[in-house]
Amino acid sequence: MDDCIFCKISAGEIPATVLYEDDDVIAIEDLNPQAPVHALVMPKAHYDNIVDGVPATTLASMVHAVGEVAASTGLSERGFRVIANTGSDAGQTVNHLHLHVLGGTSLGEGLIP
C-alpha cells in the first residue's frame, strides 16, 4: 500500500533499526518501546491484520523471526511476550499485520502495548 508506514519501512523507504530480515519478513526496534526490548515483526507483503487471509508460510516466517529476535536480544533465556493487536478496539494503530515482541524485564500482567 502506498500510504502504509510499515510497507515503506519494509521497502527501505523509511529508515529503521533492523533486528532481523529475510525474504518474507522484517523485524525492527519499536520507536516507542514499552519494555527494554520491544521489536515489531511484520511481513513485507501488506495484510491488515492476523485474520486477513495471511498465508501459513508468512505466519511461519513471522514466528521464525520472533525466535531470531528473541535469540539475538537475549530474551530466549529470560522469557518474552508476543502480541498481535487486531483492530482499533484492541489497540492496533497501524493497519499492517505486526507482532510485538517485548521483554528484558518482568512484564507482569499490566503491560500491553
Q: What share of the chain is helix, strand, coil (3-state, %, to 5)?
A: 25, 20, 50
Query: Cell 505466519, residue?
Result: 59
Catalytic residue among 38, 96, 98, 100: 98
Q: Which of 38, 64, 42, 71 is nearest to 54 (CA)?
A: 42
Examine the residue annotation and report whether 64 is marked as an active-site residue of this protein.
Answer: no
User: What residues are annotated to the active site?
Assistant: 98
